[in-house]
Structure 1
């Protein structure tokens, strides 16, 4: 199976992405990851709200529960706002980059760019292992 995967990877077209586009995409991934990590640590509600429990006996399809939420602090709200603002700016920068007007298959190129950081990491790992 690994031979099949490598032959598919070998047939994929490569793109000469400009460095500023590569950097913007990488930072976008980093900001999205930081935002996701922050959301995981934050209480489930921005505002303080009481917890709740839904049971099948009460007519709900799935059982679910939430503890009381103390809400987000002003600092936490500011962190989320800052990351979301940066995420939007980076996404706009990537999507509107002049490079896309030079592509004959923009969706394929966009997909390749989204996965470029993973390919770079894999190449660095192979190089470190002497492959």
Structure 2
């Protein structure tokens, strides 16, 4: 009499992310990019502020800020809605049951979470976004808008997590 051999299941792969988790991460990444695009259009201070002049102290220069009237009520409302939407979209990613399975399997949760962020299927849909590396030159390159002094680079989602020029 022979004993049947137990079926062996494939080893747990913490990088085999469930579709719902990837979709939730993509939604959060899209909202993050939208929020930060909107923030670039806003004055530097939410509240009215007189600003300050550049000061050199102990050999270090502190940047100058111009006076601002602050944000309008419409800008505040739009920002608060976008921020709330982002917070709501991040919750399903952070609390997904996949992370418990990864922890139980002994996976490195930080590395697994970073891998999810860099998975092309879970990355934002924009060609470039805020999770970019900024180029080193500080001079304004030809073709850049007045508010931008450094060209962005493409998201890390292309080339398997490697950064590539836009």
Normalising by structure 1, we get a TM-score of: 0.71
Query: How far apart, CA to CA, are the structure 2 residues paired with 1:100 and 1:93?
Result: 11
- State the partner residue of 1:113: 116
* Alpha-carbon distance change, 38 to 31 in structure 1, aligned in 2, over 3 angstroms: same
Contact map agreement 1:52 1:67 (CA 8 A) in 2: yes
Q: Give the gaps of 5 or more residues in structure 2.
A: 1-12, 124-155, 161-166
- State the partner residue of 1:32: 32
- State the partner residue of 2:91: 92
Query: How far apart, CA to CA, are the structure 2 residues paired with 1:120 and 1:33?
Result: 14
Query: How far apart, CA to CA, are the structure 1 residues paired with 2:51 and 2:157?
Result: 44
User: Which structure has more helix as a fraction of its residues?
Assistant: 1
Question: Secondary structure of the residue that 1:32 maps to in structure 2?
Answer: helix
Does residue 45 in structure 1 map to residue 40 in structure 2? no
Query: How far apart, CA to CA, are the structure 2 residues paired with 1:115 and 1:65?
Result: 36
- State the partner residue of 1:64: 63
Deviations 1:28-55 (A, max 9, x none): 1111111112222100111122221032
Query: How far apart, CA to CA, are the structure 1 residues paired with 2:40 and 2:59?
Result: 25
Larger radius of gyration: 2
Of the two structures, which has the highest relative contact order with CA contacts closer than 8 Å and spacing of 6 or more?
Answer: 1
Provide the aligned length of Structure 1 versus Structure 2.
110
Q: Give the gaps of 5 or more residues in structure 1.
A: 1-12, 124-131
Normalising by structure 2, we get a TM-score of: 0.57
| Structure 1 residue 14: Cα displacement | 6.7
Deviations 1:72-111 (A, max 9, x none): 1111111111111112122221011011122121333211
* Alpha-carbon distance change, 59 to 53 in structure 1, aligned in 2, over 3 angstroms: farther
- State the partner residue of 1:16: 16
